[in-house]
Amino acid sequence: MSTTAPIDEARLEMFMGQVVTDMAAAISAPLVLLGDQLGLYRAMAGAGPLTSAEVAERADVRERYVREWLGNQAASGYVQHDPSTDRYSLPHEHALALADPDSPFYVMGGYQILASIWADEERILDRFRRGEGMGWHEHDPRLFSGTERFFRPGYQAHLVPEWIPAFDGLEAALREGATVADVGCGHGASTILMAQAFPRSRFTGFDYHEGSIARARELAAAAGVGDRVGFEVASASDYPGGPYDLVCHFDCLHDMGDPVGAARHVRETLAPDGWWMIVEPFAGDSLEENLNPVGRLFYAASTLLCTPNSLSQDVGLALGAQAGEARLRDVVSSAGLTRFRRATQTPFNLILEARP
């Protein structure tokens, strides 16, 4: 491409700096994943300053690789380096994100998702050209486990202590004993968390992906809630049962080909005084409101995962992960649910309440 337009050297230099930063982050992502898989972050967590040899010994890997890995991690700001002692340390705050799966800040599932996306590059490229969709079930298997690892810490931190109490009367109903449908449940993280908190209620998780349902059953048994949790293969528009006191869609309504049809099925299966909890990625109603780091992340996920999944299904509405509250309200109201409000929010989620 040739151009005769004058070049703003300062602007070009600033942009090239951004590009180098982005490339460095992208090429470092596999190293973060290796740090998780090899136990390097866990080896450093709470251990204080360590030499590269000590990190390697604690993780039972080879020092020369670890030395190079630590250089990248120090340049990335993930670990700290003391040049006077040539030792490295993992700050406690960073360990919460990198080494503690029970922390609400744990991010390692996100890196698994990135790995799955890179593995699917050629297939996604083909979909761009042909305009066809790509179903959730067609992706690299790391997408499924990564999604569970990525979302579970946030659900664990917010679902029971904050989101459910934000719905008038819902917490009391669950404590007394309610019936709950968790639609698009994946590996069942949200279903299991609710079952652990409300032993008198009964929960059924639904997902069209058989592999995810099989894994959800295993996790429920391991968590000791198999007596009050069931998982079934079903889509959002035909899951059985009801009336349910609570229907939940966690971070999945925008992925569906026919979210309006899904909303109608909620209306058909919801008790007359029931609740529909819709948890969606945080977004404003205009593009400009979403031009920020969170929006950048969610638009990328939407392009590579959410929109292709919707386009692979009937209707293919393709709301996208940045649909925003106004478009979601339209989906809900079209199904005949007359009450709709934003119950609460986090920096990453909108928590919406809909009722008949």
Say if residue 1's pLDDT is above 90.
Answer: no
Q: How far from chain centre, in Å, is Cα 294?
A: 12
What separation in angstroms does the CA of 102 have from each of 96, 97, 154, 168, 303? 8, 10, 10, 28, 29
- Rounded CA-CA distance 97/131 in Å is 37
Of 58, 116, 113, nearest to 88 (Cα)? Answer: 58
Residues written for the chain = 356
Q: Is the dihedral of CA 279, 155, 201, 344 positive or negative?
A: negative
- Rounded CA-CA distance 294/314 in Å is 29
Categorize the per-residue pLDDT at 3 as very low, low, confident or very high, splitting at 50, 70 and 90: low
Q: How far from chain centre, in Å, is Cα 302?
A: 11
Is 313:131 a contact under the CB 8 Å cutoff? no
CATH class entry, domain 153-355: alpha beta
Paired residues of 204 in beta bridges: 181, 230
What separation in angstroms does the CA of 284 have from each of 32, 272, 327? 31, 31, 10
Is 97:107 a contact under the CB 8 Å cutoff? yes
Q: In this structure, what are the phi and psi dihedrals at residue 181, rounded to the nearest 5 degrees? A: -115, 125
This prediction's pTM: 0.93
Residues 6+ apart with CB under 8 A from 134: 120, 123, 124, 127, 308, 309, 311, 312
* Per-residue pLDDT, 23: 97
Give residue-wise pLDDT tens across range 137-169.
999 999 999 999 999 999 999 999 999 999 999
DSSP character string of 312-344:
TSSS-----TT--HHHHHHHHHHTT--EEEEEE
* Per-residue pLDDT, 172: 98
Categorize the per-residue pLDDT at 125 as very low, low, confident or very high, splitting at 50, 70 and 90: very high
The DSSP element (H or E) to which 195 belongs, if any, is helix 189-197
Is 256:236 a contact under the CB 8 Å cutoff? yes
Q: At what angle do helices 63-76 and 52-59 cross, to 10 degrees?
A: 110
Give residue-wise pLDDT tens across range 264-312.
999 999 999 999 999 999 999 999 999 999 999 999 999 999 999 999 9
- Rounded CA-CA distance 8/4 in Å is 12
- Rounded CA-CA distance 328/13 in Å is 41
* Per-residue pLDDT, 4: 74
- Rounded CA-CA distance 331/263 in Å is 7
Give residue-wise pLDDT tens across range 61-103.
999 999 999 999 999 999 999 999 999 999 999 999 999 999 9
Q: Is 291 helix (H, G, I), strand (E, B) or coil?
A: coil
- Rounded CA-CA distance 82/95 in Å is 18
Paired residues of 89 in beta bridges: 80
Question: What's the N-to-C CA distance of the chain in angstroms?
Answer: 57
Give residue-wise pLDDT tens across range 191-236.
999 999 999 999 999 999 999 999 999 999 999 999 999 999 999 9
* pLDDT (mean) for 4-25: 94
What separation in angstroms does the CA of 324 have from each of 30, 172, 307, 349? 32, 30, 15, 11
Can you give the residue ranges of every domain in the chain?
9-96, 153-355
Let me know the angle formed at the C-alpha of 160 by 156 and 164, rounded to the nearest 5 degrees: 135
The DSSP element (H or E) to which 109 belongs, if any, is helix 108-119
State the average pLDDT for the chain.
96
Q: In this prediction, what percent of the chain has a pLDDT beyond 70?
A: 99
* pLDDT (mean) for 302-331: 96
CATH level 3 topology of 9-96: Arc Repressor Mutant, subunit A (1.10.10)
Say if residue 245's pLDDT is above 60.
Answer: yes
